[in-house]
Chains A and B, each alone.
Chain A
Amino acid sequence: MQLTLWTYEGPPHVGAMRVATGMEGLHYVLHAPQGDTYADLLFTMIERRSKRPPVTYTTFQARDLGGDTAELFKRALLDAAERFKPQAFIVGASCTAELIQDDPGGLAATAGLDVPVVPVELPSYSKKENWGAAETFYQLVRRFAVKAEQRPATCNVLGPTALGFRHRDDVKEVCGLLARLGITVNVVAPMGSTPADLTRLGEASFNVVLYPETAGVAASWMQRNLGQPFTRTVPIGVGATRDFIAEVAALAGVDATAMLAAEESRLPWYSRSVDSTYLTGKRVFIFGDATHAVAAARVAREELGFEVVGLGTYSREQAREVREAAKALGLEALITDDYLAVEQAIADAHPELVLGTQMERHTAKRLGVACAVISAPVHVQDFPARHSPQMGFEGANVLFDTWVHPLMMGLEEHLIGMFREDFEFNDQAPSHLGHKAAPVREAPPLVEAMAVQPVAAAVLDVPVEPRWGADAEAELKKIPFFVRGKARRNTEAFARERGVATITVETLYDAKAHYSR
């Protein structure tokens, strides 16, 4: 039993829905109670899909439990067959139906349908959304893909699903890259494919895996059974995109020299431009699904010159990759799906930028730290109207813009630092940054703090909270408001670690020296 306020991933059948909803001609009959139909809104509201997900829920009720829920399932399946006439079905159970053990797969097998039915068994009490998507895609591939004569310089593009973080734009970007390399794309799946398309998967000579979370298992199976190698590089960032080009060129037997010689992204020049000097060593905390987190760490470090001060993921299945990436950066990876633990880690790391999910966006807001979103779970904002990929050279441009803009601009920062007593550089002044500075938690009034804390410390044996001397407090006020919260936190943490009871001006500058690079 795990106490959860917000979750990074939904249940595994939502992963199956992401596969089915991305595809055409596939219908999912899900044995589930009525409330589980909420999942439709993820697709129709968050992703703004214009069609309902191709899912029939049996919506059994308590009164059905004593009777025949199996019969209910069969009827729902037959009705769906008649109404939707899909090329194929997937069938399965949600968490509640798993407990009543009706065996949707077995029931479907005896239903006398003339289209293929693929049972997907997704253990709801131990697995989660990405696992469910991967397993569903794997089962579909196993069922439909067959060994065929491979066409040269031809690949499949695997992994994109409905409700995926920028999958729509990544597919377009990567397919464009492949086309320019003279590589033919055979099938893109699951998103955009039909069950009939899956039967043609074997005609490609290799597979491009965009999202190992959803396509890794299927790609390994295809390597073993269809003799198709698959790519390991996820083309997020300039370096990774170039590595990816080299990798696919080798797999396809094409020449990529010209493309690799050209500078296709603006990121390298923007990053080398003198204006970007101020980005050097910015402390960045990274959390997301494994693929995006690991990729972001490389881009942050190698392509923007940030210092990565935290790296983690909520996906335990891919924890190993993240651990390795963290180790290479001299960090210990944070592997957790408890967003409060992530919040604590962020607070402890004192980053200047958080690259995370929507969950970390809220945390960062609370802590008054800049943030950009790099990974699912998705939000309606993660489906922008404009083309906004994460992958390929255009994706690298997008990363530069979205990660750098939340940070204060170069010269501007120096000016504010020098003239911090300018009356316009205070909390109330109108901001041209477009957002108000996050409210900063002010320390309790001195009198109150002095009266209460020694008592609390004596009774509860808690460490004494450092208090601010008047001179230090006054000095703190001179620091521009948008960094004052951080200065306050850093100084307090510094004082706490050293057992300093009263913060003086000296403590303030000692802390500043300690935290500056």
Chain B
Amino acid sequence: MLDHVPASGCDTRPILRERGQREVFCGLTGIVWMHRKIQDAFFLVVGSRTCAHLLQSAAGVMIFAEPRFATAILDERDLAGLADAQEELDRNVTRLLERRPDIKLLFLVGSCPSEVIKLDLHRAAQRLDRRFNGVRVLNYSGSGIETTFTQGEDACLAALVPELPSTDAAQLVIVGALAEVVEDQWRRLYAAMGITNIAFLPARRAGDMPAVGQGTRYLLAQPFLAETARLLDARGARHLPALFPLGAEGTTDFLRAGAEAMGVGAGRFAEATAAAEARARAALEGPRARLAGKRIFFFPDSQLEVPMARFLTRECGMEAVEIGTPYLHRAHLAAEMPLLPAAAMLSEGQDVERQLDRCLEARPDLVVCGLGLANPLEAQGITTKWSIELVFTPVQGYDQAADLASLFARPFARRDMLRV
């Protein structure tokens, strides 16, 4: 993933670049929420027992219903003969699709092992796509050697972009997997401004994916969609730079960028959003009381760290000690970076041991980190928040701003209650 040259909002603070041990999930993890988002899609990982185990562990509680994902586990025979591996894959996909006639979109998801042995999943997807009428077969890689956690969603959406139908019609597309409640809120807000030619990528069903083209203006709802954005640009769509829709401030800036591009005046925009924004700000008062003045430390994980830190420092009164992120996409974060407090250290990449040293030295009030680190830090008296919860919970938009703040406030509330 290349860093782009800053387009605007140039931020000159020093950034600590780390290249040691990383304690983050790989892109396969995105399947855990993407398979719920696209309701007729199936994700077939071509990988190892490790990949299957990761998915099962990251899904946390085992999902009750039969999930719409699985792993085709490579064995020694597949490694010995790649041609046979392709045949084996065909056989497995055939069996799978026979069992699940409800599936309309199948992703073959590459893993580290399939990438290292150069198993050509693109060719496989094309072949299978021709074979199964009515089932679109695409591929992407969620491997840990290429993707970090949320980048799996980027890779998945990027695989969809070239497949989208074409249109030159003027429209607004919001990109990134969002909770349905968030999508519905935004549809209502835009409808109040008179904008109805709006679409979401991904759609809830494979057959409803939006068309894109010259007339498309798009907003990135998530900060980790670099490749998807690049391919949308290649289709003639144009990115609308904005803050990410976390908190009242972020949501307003985000929605305004869309409104402006669709020709809505400032007055009409304010009219449509003022009440919701005021409600969000009022709701933030409660959690803010707990968070103000508290020092927060981010371990790199979802790439949501920068907008999250912006929200927590500007709207909740927190102080940021370190903001670690796996990748700093300077162009997409151009509006965000200047809003970060000058005192906060920004780090990109990771050396987990050294970062733990810094963290223990700084003794922050709250640490945002992955599941592997949380309890060990708690055992040392440091309050933590699991970053994965931020990806699995609806946090974007006005009416979720207080929910987002409450996620961070709850560990403090708990600490206050406990006498053990």
Contact = CB atoms under 8 A, between A and B. Distances in A.
Contact of B53 (A14, A33, A59, A61): A14
B75 A125 contact: yes
Interface stretch (B142-150, B221-229, B282-290, B336-344): B142-150
A2 B73 contact: yes
A186 interface: no
A184 to B, nearest CB: 33
Given A50-B375, A125-B74, A99 B113 contact: yes
Contacts of B116: 65, 96, 99-100
Given A1-B89, A3-B92, A51-B379, A34 B49 contact: no
Interface in B124-173: 143-146, 148
A433 B378 CA distance: 36
A37 B372 contact: yes
A124 interface: yes
A123 B49 CA distance: 11
A203 to B, nearest CB: 34
Interface in B372-389: 372-376, 378-379
A44 B48 contact: no
A42 interface: yes
A358 B145 contact: no
B66 A5 contact: yes
A29 to B, nearest CB: 10
B145 A62 contact: yes
Interface residues of B, number: 62
A433 to B, nearest CB: 20
Interface string B14-33: 00000011111111110000
Nearest to B117: A99
A129 to B, nearest CB: 8
B264 interface: no
Nearest to B61: A379
Given A1-B89, A35-B112, A125 B79 contact: yes
Most B CB within 10 A of own CB, among A3, A14, A48, A128 = A3
A34 B72 contact: no
B371 A61 contact: no
B50 A41 contact: no
B231 interface: no
B53 A7 contact: yes
B19 to A, nearest CB: 9
Interface residues of A, number: 56
A62 B372 contact: no
Interface string A43-77: 01100111110001111111011000000000010
Interface string A114-141: 0000000001111010000000000000
B54 A125 contact: no
B184 interface: no
B357 to A, nearest CB: 9
A216 interface: no
Contact of B50 (A62, A95, A362): A95
Contacts of A99: 79, 113, 116-117
Contact of B25 (A5, A38, A60, A83): A38
Interface in A1-44: 1-7, 9-11, 13-14, 33-42, 44
A1 B372 contact: no
B189 interface: no
B95 to A, nearest CB: 7
A94 interface: yes
A79 interface: yes
Interface string B310-323: 00000000000000
B301 to A, nearest CB: 11
A66 to B, nearest CB: 11
B145 A1 contact: no
Contacts of A44: 371-376
A35 B69 CA distance: 18
Contacts of A39: 53, 57
Contacts of A35: 24-29, 51, 54, 112, 143-144
Interface in A324-372: 358-359, 362, 365-366
Interface string B270-310: 00000000000000000000000000000000000000000
A222 B322 CA distance: 52
Contacts of A359: 62
A481 B204 CA distance: 37
Given A76-B21, A95-B113, A51 B376 contact: yes
Interface string B66-80: 110111111111110
A40 B49 contact: no
A65 B118 CA distance: 13
A56 B50 CA distance: 17
A6 B115 contact: no
Given A2-B75, A76-B21, A33 B144 contact: yes
Nearest to A50: B379
Contacts of B50: 10-11, 13, 36, 94-96, 124
Contacts of A41: 57, 370-372
A95 B72 CA distance: 14
A42 B372 CA distance: 8
Contacts of B96: 3
B326 to A, nearest CB: 9
Contacts of B407: none
Contacts of A50: 375-376, 378-379
Contact of A96 (B48, B58, B62, B75): B48
B371 A4 contact: no
Contact of A3 (B58, B70, B112, B373): B70
Contacts of B88: 1
Contacts of A14: 53
A251 to B, nearest CB: 38
Contacts of A125: 48, 74-76, 78-79
A1 B23 contact: no
B353 A49 contact: no
A124 B48 contact: yes
Nearest to B386: A45
Contact of A38 (B54, B71, B148, B374): B54
Contacts of B53: 7, 10-11, 14, 38-39
A99 B95 CA distance: 28
Top 8 A-B residue pairs of the complex, sorted by shortest distance between their CB atoms: A35-B26, A40-B372, A35-B144, A50-B379, A33-B144, A95-B48, A41-B371, A96-B112
Interface of A: 1-7, 9-11, 13-14, 33-42, 44-45, 48-52, 56-62, 64-65, 76, 79, 83, 94-96, 99-100, 123-126, 128, 358-359, 362, 365-366
Interface of B: 20-29, 48-54, 56-58, 62, 64, 66-67, 69-79, 85, 88-89, 91-92, 95-96, 112-113, 115-117, 143-146, 148, 353, 370-376, 378-379
28 contacts: A1-B72, A1-B85, A1-B88, A2-B75, A5-B69, A7-B52, A7-B56, A11-B50, A13-B50, A33-B112, A35-B24, A35-B29, A37-B25, A44-B376, A51-B376, A52-B376, A57-B23, A61-B146, A65-B145, A95-B48, A96-B113, A100-B116, A124-B48, A126-B75, A128-B49, A362-B62, A362-B64, A366-B64
Given A35-B26, A37-B24, A40-B373, 11 more contacts: A4-B72, A7-B49, A13-B50, A33-B144, A34-B26, A36-B50, A36-B144, A37-B23, A40-B372, A50-B379, A59-B21
